[in-house]
C-alpha cells in the first residue's frame, strides 16, 4: 500500500475504498509531504501488522440445519468450497459429529436415528465419530459405516470412496 501511495505526487488526492461500521464507503485523502523526504507523498495513516478480522460466516441451506452435531458436515462443505474439484464427486455420503478448531471429531447423540435418516435419504456411506461406534450395537443398515476421529480422516475416507480403492480398507465401526 505504501508503494501505491508513493506513486502519487505531494498534494494529490488518493482514493481509498474502506469499510466503516460494516458499510463500504469511498474516502479521498490529500497526500502530504513525508517528514523525512520532501518529494515523497504520504497520507495520515499508519500501516502495520496486527489487524484482527473476525468475519461473520453464514450458510443458508434452505432448511433448519444446525447444532453442534452438524460441525463435521459444515467443515466438509467449507473444505469443498475452498479446494479445487468436487469433494463428493457425485457420491451420496452422510455424516455427523461435533468438530473442534483443530479438526477433532466428537460424539453426538441419536446416532442410530441419524444413520436411519441418511439411509432413507439415499446415502451409501456414513461418517461415524469414533466415539459413537459403541452406540451402534444392534443396528442393521446397508450403509458403509466409516469410523473417523478427525476432519482429515473424513476427507481421506471420502477420497478413498471416490477412488477405485476397496472401501473395505477404511476403518469401520
b (16+ CB within 10 A) / e for 151-172? bebbbebbebbbeeeeeeebee
Q: Work out the end-to-end distance of the chain between its first and last CA atoms, rounded to an integer number of angstroms.
A: 54
Residue 69 has a CB neighbour count (10 Å cut-off) of 21
Cβ proximity of 104 and 150 under 8 Å: yes
Residues recognised as catalytic: 69, 114
User: Which alpha helices (H) appear in 30-150, and where do they start and end?
Assistant: 71-82, 111-120
The Cβ-side half-sphere exposure at 114, using a 13 Å CA radius, reads 23
Using DSSP, state whether 116 is helix, strand or coil: helix
Amino acid at each position: 500500500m505504501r508503494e501505491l501511495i508513493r506513486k502519487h505526487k505531494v498534494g494529490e488526492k488518493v482514493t481509498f475504498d474502506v469499510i466503516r461500521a460494516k458499510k463500504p464507503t469511498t474516502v479521498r485523502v490529500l497526500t502530504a509531504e513525508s517528514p523525512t523526504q520532501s518529494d515523497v507523498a504520504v497520507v495520515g495513516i499508519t500501516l502495520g501488522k496486527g489487524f484482527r478480522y473476525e468475519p461473520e460466516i453464514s450458510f443458508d441451506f434452505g432448511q433448519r440445519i444446525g447444532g453442534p452435531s452438524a460441525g463435521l458436515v459444515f467443515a466438509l462443505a467449507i473444505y469443498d468450497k475452498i479446494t479445487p474439484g468436487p469433494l463428493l464427486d457425485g457420491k451420496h455420503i452422510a455424516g455427523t459429529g461435533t468438530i473442534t478448531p483443530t479438526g477433532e471429531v466428537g460424539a453426538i447423540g441419536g446416532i442410530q436415528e441419524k444413520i436411519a435418516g441418511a439411509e432413507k435419504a439415499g446415502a451409501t456411506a456414513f461418517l461415524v465419530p469414533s466415539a459413537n461406534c459403541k452406540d451402534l450395537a444392534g443396528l442393521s443398515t446397508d450403509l458403509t459405516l466409516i469410523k473417523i476421529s478427525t476432519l482429515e480422516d473424513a476427507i481421506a475416507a471420502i477420497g478413498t470412496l471416490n477412488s477405485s480403492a476397496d472401501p473395505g480398507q477404511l476403518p469401520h465401526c
